[in-house]
Structure formats: structure tokens, C-alpha cells
Amino acid sequence: MEIARKFKSAFSTVPMLGWMLGILTGVLIEFYWGYDYISYYLGLPKIPVLFGTLIMLKEPMMIPGALGYDLAVYVVPVFLVAKLTSGLTNPLAALLEKLPLALSVLIHLVLFYGILHLWAGINDYRVLVIKLTMISIILTVSINVINGYQGEFSCSHPGFMALGAYVSSIITLVLFANDKIFGAPLLPPEYGPWFFPLALVAGGAAAALGSLAVAIPSFRTRGDYLAIISLAFMFIVKSAVENLHIIGGARGMGGQPDFAPLHVIFIWTILCIWIIHNFVTSIMGKALNTVRDDEAASESMTIKTRKTKMTAFMFGAFWAGVGGGLFAHVLAYINPGMFSINRLAEILAMVYFGGLNSIVGSIVGAVSINVLGEALRPLELFKWIIIPLILIFVMIFRPYGLISFTELNMKKLLRAKTGKGV
Amino acid sequence: MESIIDILQYIVQNLINAAQRGSFYAVISIGYSMVYGVLMLFNFAHGDIFMVGTYIGFGIATLFLAIFAGLLPGPLIFLSTVVVTMFLASWIGVLVEVAGYRPLREAPRASAAITGLMIGIIFETGILILLGAKRLSFPPLMESVTYHIGGVYFTNVKAMIIILSLLLMLALHGFIQKTKWGMAMRAMSYDFLAVPLMGVSINIIAPLTFAVGAGLASVAGILYGQAYPILDPYMGVIIGWKAFVAAILGGRGSIKGAALAGYLLGFIEIFVATIFPSTLRDLIAYSIILVILTFRPRGFFGMEHSTKLRL
């Protein structure tokens, strides 16, 4: 414990910029020397995709090599660079602090995206994992509006996702793709990426309209009855799509054009986090919390509970629809079976693992469940015993999730750290 | 040219099918409803307890058929299978309560719901690891005899499923209304906080409730195995959610309501499937439920609970 405390205090002077610089160094080391030198001399067949867990679980003999790789590429350079450059990065961070917060955040985000792009560029599998993780972040943050901030137990997120996925896929397939069902494209495919945001927004709008089917009954019912209504809504959407043979029915719909590269998904994720953060810290967001805590009292405090509930539902559903649209274009294939109970269990697990009423918590939950799921993939079936057990323990020791009731504070996160008054 | 009699026969035939399907849903959703009544939480692992119960029933049935086939008459083998399976499966319910839900008694209800979902996934994966992905088929415990009365066909298995479910529900009713344990359960669902002050331990009543629910689910599993003999580790998922729907539709904590709603769900599903293409079954069934809940937001026998939803 003493060592851990010393370690923590030694690195308490490193600002966010310093950590980013450290990670950048690690990624650059992997990019230039990973294949030819480091993995070769450590006896690894190739660069570990996800920090070596896949290799370690498949071939136990490789454990020292994979651990050595992680140490040589990530751990040592990150901590070393972060510590050594803190004399340089702290004044820089202090300088950035003088800029408007939005600009400072933007600079950090650009830097972060650069690192992510470089790291993911090593192979396609990493790209896919990052894309799906970001989509999970969108879904988790958006369900947190309904389940965390508004305090309902909504089960309809896969339904909203399906609405968004199908509507945006139909739009892009009709307009920009040569498709079996809809024939030749109506517009030149070059315009596709520029119109893609509109298709996503249309998908989100469809999901928001669909959410009225859950939002309007929520005026009269709460809790478990609303859970059933939302569950029924999810089954209805899935079943309706299965019976619409023009859009593929139960066979699904494929061939969505690839309009969703990494940077597009990154921008949408940041937009989602930013807008939802603004929403939940606005007066409307506070009203949402009062509706959750005591509906009658908030009504008497002149809060329009109906309007608040409806907005929250439509807002959450909109972003779920956007997430669904991105999901469809990443996989280039969707079928109704993707938006069923299993997806629901996954989304609920992510939001309750990460933490209610907190955007940071949602991000942590989505990232950890996704990365854990990918890292434990070689365990096959046993993965589905380990992950649920972890979740049960989290629920027992932290019933509201790992990081709950905490707001995102960019200013605190990005400030210079002088070691005094941390 | 269909005559009135043909139509009547058709309706009665489907009524019997619907009663059979409704029986499963009713027996399973009673387990949900009981747990809700006593502990105010929904046991999302119930569908998978049903699945595990079916597998236990499968094991016991195979064992008993191997030992007693030819020695004992069919109905006796059947009854002993039911009794032994109920006993074994009820321990699964106790295990779930003690290991999963007891540490969460003070926690928000949503955490308990997530724990239930995760326990369900652990059960599914556990069965998959233990027995492999091979689909097993439930051995018939009784020789199937088809009766033909007035143009309506039914088998003795079907009749037995319906009659046994009704008997079980009556027995449960008696248990809850007449015995001391039942009285404690009713008191617990009436006032969760005051009852422990009267010397009734919730640490006994809660596992008992889970045990009864799991026992009922396992019997439903045996009956299900007789009607649709294919077993697979994920069979509990959809049935569990449907039973959850039935439990809510009946009004929370109301056992009578859960049974009624279970039968209603069975009837809706069968009649939708006979009138419309069967792919529309879920669509129409859930739309009807949505409409019912919009107009009757507390379910059939639900009462206004003053307890506020704890996040």
C-alpha cells in the first residue's frame, strides 16, 4: 500500500497532456519498432492486438513474451515520458487553461484522435473493436438519460436502435448504393458521405418518434409496468421488421455502403457525449432528476413533468437511433435478431456496470465491458461466466455502478497539476 | 362449406391448445409474482431457473425410466419424477436467493434486476459447458393416447398438463391461505418492514418463496418437456420474459392475476397463430398487452402501492 501511495504521489504532477504524450510515445514505439524488433525478439508471432491478452489465453507459453511486450511498448514509455516531460507539459497545460475551455478541449480531442488512429491503424481488428466500443458508448450514454437521470427501467433501447438502423440503412441504400432490393442509386455515390449525417439524423428521428409509444404511457405508469411497456415495444419493433419482407424480413438487410470510418464515428461519439452532457446539466436535466426523485413534489414546483418525460425519452431514443445507424453501416449487415433480448442484456449490463446518473460512468462501463469481452474471447464459453460474475460483484459492492452520480468536469480533467493542492 | 359445428369444433380444439400453452405461462409467472409479492423485486433469473429445472427433470426422468420402466405404471413414474424434481429444483431457488439476492436486499432494485439477468447467463453457460450444445430430447413419461370426442382431438398428455397445472395452483392457493408459512408470506407482502418485528424472519421466508417458485417452474419444465420434447440451454429466456409480462399484466404480487394473465397470454398467442400467419404472433400479442396496460396501468388485480420506485 505504501508503494502504491508513493507511486500515486509521484505521478500526481502529470497533467492530461503529459499522459497523452506518454501514450503517443508508446504508440509510436509500437508503430516503428513493434513488428520488426520488439515482437520478433520476444518470440511473439506478431504484434499483440489487444495488449497480448488474446495471445496469453491461447498459448500460456507466450505469457512472458506478451507481458514483456506490454512493458516495453506501453507501461515503461508511458510512465517514463509522462513523468519526465511533466516540467514541459505543465506550463503548456497552464497555457491552454488560459484559452477558452472549448478550444482547449478541442485541441486535446484532436490529439486523442491522432493517437487512437495511429494505434488502430496497426490492424483492422483494432479498428473494428474501437468502432463498436464507440457505438456502445453512444448507446450507454443515451440509455443513461432514461434509466439513470430519469430513473425508469426502460427496456426498449434495442427497439430504438433497430428503428434507427433500418431507417438510415434504407435511406443510404436507396440513394447511394446499387442494391438488390432498391435498384440503382438515385444520387451519385460520391455524395454519400456528405449526406450520411442526414440519414443518421433521420434514423434518430424515427427512433424518437417511435419512443412516443413508450413515453405517452409513462404519464400514467411508472416502474415495472413501464418496463413491460418498453419491453413490449422492443418485441413489437423486432416482430414488425421480421414481417416486412420488402426490407429483408428475418433474413436481414445487407450491403450498406461504408460511410462510417473511424473518424466519422469518433465525431459522432464526441457530439453525443457533448450534447447529452449539456442536456443533463441544463435546467431540463435537473428537472429530470426531480421527476425521478419525487414526481408529485416536482409537479408542485412548476415542473412540467409530462414535457420533461417526453423530452427525455425522445432524446435518449434519438441517440440510440443514431447509434443503430452507425452500427448498421459498420457491419454492413443487419437483421432483426441483432436487436433482441441479448442486446438488451448487454446494454443494461454496460450502463449499470459503469454507473447511473453519470456520463463518465457510462463511458467507463461501455469501454470496460467491450474490451473485457474482446480480451476474454479465447475463453469462449467461460467468458460468459466470468463477465457476469464480475458484474454481480460490482452490484454487490457498488450497487449504483462503478462511477455514479458524478458529472464530467473537463476543466478539472485538463488543468495543469503542480502537485500542490491536488 | 363450413357448418356451425365445424367452427365450434375448431374453436374448442384451439381452446384446448391454448389452455395447455397458458398452463405453462401461468405456472411459471406465479413464481415471478410470489417473489415480487414478498421481496418487491423481479427475479429475472426465473426463466433460467425454469430451464435448469427442466434439465433436472430430464435427468430424474431418464434415471427413473431406466430403473422402474416396466415395474411401475406410467402415471406413478410421472408423479415420482415430479416430486423429486420439485425437491431438487427448489434448492436452486434457495441458492439464487442466498447467493445472488440476499447481499442486495438494501440495494436499488435495478441492481437486483441486473444480478438476476447475470445469474441467468451463468446458468445458460453452465449448462452449455456441462452438457454441450447437443440438443437433448425429453423422454415421454407416459404413453400418449389420443382421444376423440365430438370431433375434438386431445391426448392424455395434454389433459394431464392442464389438470396438473390447475391442481398445482389450487395447492399453492391452499398453502398460502391455510398454512403458517403462507400467512407469513402474505404478511410480508403486506408490510415488508413491520413483519420482522413480529418475529417472522425474512431470511427464512424469502428462500422459501424462491424455493416454491423454483419448484413450480421445474414442474412447468417437466410438463413443457412432455409437450415440446426438445431441450436447449436458451429455452428459458423467451419463456421467462413472457412469464414476466404475464406477472405484470396480472398486477404485481397478485398470484390470481398472474395465473389469469398467463392463460390470457396463451390464448392470445394460439388464437393469433390460428387466424393470422404465425409470424405475426408476437407482434399482435404484445400490441394487445400494450393496449391493455395503457388502459389499465396497474394490471388486472394490481393495487396502488405507495412504495416509490427506488431508482
Is the model more confident about B258 or about B293?
B258
Give Cα separations from A46 to A29, A116, A167, B127, B235 (angstroms): 15, 20, 41, 36, 41
Measured between CB atoms, which of B281, B290, B308 is closest to A232?
A: B290
pLDDT (tens digit per residue) in B133-164: 788 888 888 777 888 887 788 888 888 889 98
DSSP structure class, residue A32: I
Whole-number pLDDT of residue B305: 53
Amino acid at A81: V
Closest CA to A278 of A34, A20, A101, A41: A101
- Please tell me the pTM assigned to this model: 0.89
Unique residue bearing C-alpha cell 433480448? A341
**Contact between residue B310 and residue B41 where contact means Cβ atoms under 8 Å apart:** no
Cα separation, B302 vs B254, in Å, equals 7
The set of cell numbers assigned to B42 is 423481479
Choose the mutation target among A150, A224, A298 for the interface with B, i.e. most B CBs under 10 Å.
Answer: A224
Mean pLDDT calculated for residue range B226-246: 88
At B47, the pLDDT band (50, 70, 90 cuts) reads very high
Unique residue bearing C-alpha cell 412540467? A304
Is residue B309 pLDDT above 70, yes or no?
no
Is residue B92 pLDDT above 80, yes or no?
yes
Is residue A405 pLDDT above 70, yes or no?
yes
From chain A residues 343-372, the ones with a CB under 8 A of any chain B CB are: 345, 348-349, 352, 356
Among A47-56, A103-112, A320-329, B98-107, which is the least confidently predicted range? Answer: A47-56
Is residue B227 pLDDT above 50, yes or no?
yes
DSSP structure class, residue B12: H
Whole-number pLDDT of residue B311: 37
ipTM of the complex: 0.85
Closest CA to A104 of A363, A416, A362, A417: A416
Is residue B254 pLDDT above 90, yes or no?
no
Cα separation, A79 vs A82, in Å, equals 5
A389 touches chain B (CB under 8 A): yes
Is residue A169 pLDDT above 90, yes or no?
yes
Cα separation, A177 vs A202, in Å, equals 18
Residue B136's beta-bridge partner residues?
A: B231
What residues of chain B lie within 8 A of the CB of A225, using their CB?
A: 248, 293, 297-299
Closest CA to A405 of A82, A151, A135: A151
**Contact between residue A222 and residue A152 where contact means Cβ atoms under 8 Å apart:** yes
CA A413 to chain centre: 19
Whole-number pLDDT of residue B310: 40
Closest CA to A348 of A136, A162, A160: A136
Is residue B260 pLDDT above 50, yes or no?
yes
Is the model more confident about A218 or about B82?
B82
Question: Residue A224 in 3-state DSSP?
Answer: helix
Unique residue bearing C-alpha cell 497545460? A93
The set of cell numbers assigned to A150 is 430519469
The segment with the largest mean pLDDT, out of A37-41, B38-42, B129-133, B209-213, is B209-213
Amino acid at A179: D
A395 touches chain B (CB under 8 A): yes
